[in-house]
Amino acid sequence: MHDSRELVLARLPSGVPIRTTVHVYGEGTLVDGEEGPELDVPDDGGPVVYAQAAQHGREVNGAAVLRRLHGRLTGEADDDAADLGDGIDDDVRGTLVSVPVADPLTFDRVSYTTPESLDSINANMNRCWPGDPDGTLHERMAARLWPFASAADAVVDLHTGSPNMLTHTVYMRGDEECRGLAEAFGTDLLLAEAAGDDADTEWAERNFGGKFRVAATREGIPTITPELAHSREVVEEAVETGVDGMVGVLRREGVLAGDPAPWDGTVARNHLGRVTAADSGLFRAEPDLAIGDEVTDGERLGEVYDPTTFETLQVAEADRDGIVYSVARESTVTAGATLVGVAERIEE
Ligand SMILES: [Zn+2]
């Protein structure tokens, strides 16, 4: 069973409402609340999974994933893959709530953040969770979505990287439930993000505590952030990876019958393995460097040079053994920019 409702997230200065759509599948229903639709799940309604996409509006593949999943769950699939019947097997009770476009402001701009004029304090929606109904624009939008997420037993926040980022799933290191969810999603690479104590200062400086995944995990709700390949362009492979991942999560939680496929991949840590530009210039990656490559400490990854004098300003080298999970797509770099992301393997 499927239902969907329009949800007003906030209003713009002109009075124009910022609208999105909430979908519900399975046991749960959407009922009229004081400020719009609310989720209602019967006491014996089983597990609830919440999934959203496009907090960063240019990351369009997550929205495409939720559309294709909708097709499979409702039997209206736009492809030849086996549909999932009514989604909820007679013996399996549960609910999926999905929001394909969590941030219409960035979606319309095909951007990562909003213009300062709309939210100068939290230009990045993914730094202000769980939001504040009396706060800035993004805080208000997060606060409207939060009740759907906080009612869930598991949360998936779909993001995408650039074509030059290896598909991976981020979870809170040390949290076994989040780890289990990440394995059920099934990407080969899992990135275990530090829980706080041993995170570098970037954690605090970039307000990572306000990430949706972190806020929900702290509420005791297992949450993952899959980073599918590609932004801006709907890419078949990324959509299929995302749909397979969602089906794995729904199976793990018992919303769909069956078990997720066994996971057999690599766990690494991120954020500590950035090779950054020591100076501004043009970056030339080693011609054979590709995402997914294994690199060793000290390995040459590329160079930054002065385009006017041709002088080499920096030979960029890996500062650890690991897996290349991103390579700068734009060659014009400013000092401090990430050239290559190297995820350090922490488990085989
Ligand atoms: Zn994102």
Domain ranges of the chain: 2-268, 272-343
Q: Fill in the DSSP letter of residue 35.
A: T
Residue 194 has a pLDDT of 80
Q: How far is the CA of 227 from the centre of ligand 1 (A)?
A: 7
pLDDT score of 46 more than 80:
yes
Q: pLDDT band at residue 302, thresholds of 50, 70 and 90?
A: very high
For residues 304 and 316, the answer to whether their CB atoms sit within 8 Å is: yes
pLDDT score of 80 more than 70:
no
- Mean pLDDT across 96-124: 95
Dmax over CA atoms of the chain, in Å, equals 71
Q: How far is the CA of 203 from the centre of ligand 1 (A)?
A: 16
Q: Fill in the DSSP letter of residue 262.
A: P
Q: How far is the CA of 251 from the centre of ligand 1 (A)?
A: 25
Name the percent of the chain lying above pLDDT 70: 91
Q: Where are the alpha helices (DSSP H) in the chain?
A: 61-74, 104-109, 137-150, 176-185, 201-205, 212-218, 236-253
Give the phi and the psi of residue 293 in degrees, each rounded to 5.
Answer: -65, 145
- More confidently predicted of 254 and 196: 254
Q: How far is the CA of 308 from the centre of ligand 1 (A)?
A: 35
Residue 269 has a pLDDT of 83
The overall average pLDDT reported for the chain is 91
Which helix (H) or strand (E) segment holds residue 193: the answer is strand 189-193
> Virtual CA dihedral for 253, 257, 261, 267, nearest 10 degrees?
0
**Range in 116-120, 167-171, 221-225 with the lowest mean pLDDT:** 116-120
* CATH no. for 2-268: 3.40.630.10
Name the token pair of 299: 């390995």
Amino acid at the residue 81: A
What sign does the CA torsion over 261, 213, 111, 344 have? negative
Inter-helix orientation angle 61-74/236-253, to 10°: 60
CA of residue 339 relative to chain centroid, distance: 21
Q: How far is the CA of 89 from the centre of ligand 1 (A)?
A: 32
For residues 153 and 49, the answer to whether their CB atoms sit within 8 Å is: yes
Q: How far is the CA of 312 from the centre of ligand 1 (A)?
A: 33
Name the token pair of 143: 């606060």
Q: How far is the CA of 109 from the centre of ligand 1 (A)?
A: 14
Q: Fill in the DSSP letter of residue 289.
A: -
Residues near 250 by beta carbon (within 8 Å), at least 6 away in sequence = 49, 94, 96, 256
Using CA atoms, how far apart are residues 23 and 334, in angstroms rounded to an integer?
42
Q: How far is the CA of 60 from the centre of ligand 1 (A)?
A: 10
Q: How far is the CA of 59 from the centre of ligand 1 (A)?
A: 6
Residue 63 has a pLDDT of 98
- Mean pLDDT across 9-33: 96
Q: How far is the CA of 17 from the centre of ligand 1 (A)?
A: 23
Q: How far is the CA of 324 from the centre of ligand 1 (A)?
A: 19
Q: pLDDT band at residue 197, thresholds of 50, 70 and 90?
A: low
Closest CA to 195 of 173, 217, 176, 213: 173
Tell me if the domain spanning 272-343 has CATH number 2.40.50.100.
Answer: yes
- Mean pLDDT across 166-190: 96
Q: pLDDT band at residue 89, thresholds of 50, 70 and 90?
A: low
- Mean pLDDT across 124-144: 97
Q: How far is the CA of 321 from the centre of ligand 1 (A)?
A: 26
Which SS3 state, helix, strand or coil, does residue 154 take? strand
- Mean pLDDT across 132-141: 97
Domains 2-268 and 272-343 equal at CATH topology level: no
Q: How far is the CA of 34 from the centre of ligand 1 (A)?
A: 31
Q: How far is the CA of 18 from the centre of ligand 1 (A)?
A: 20
Residue 162 has a pLDDT of 80
Q: How far is the CA of 138 from the centre of ligand 1 (A)?
A: 15
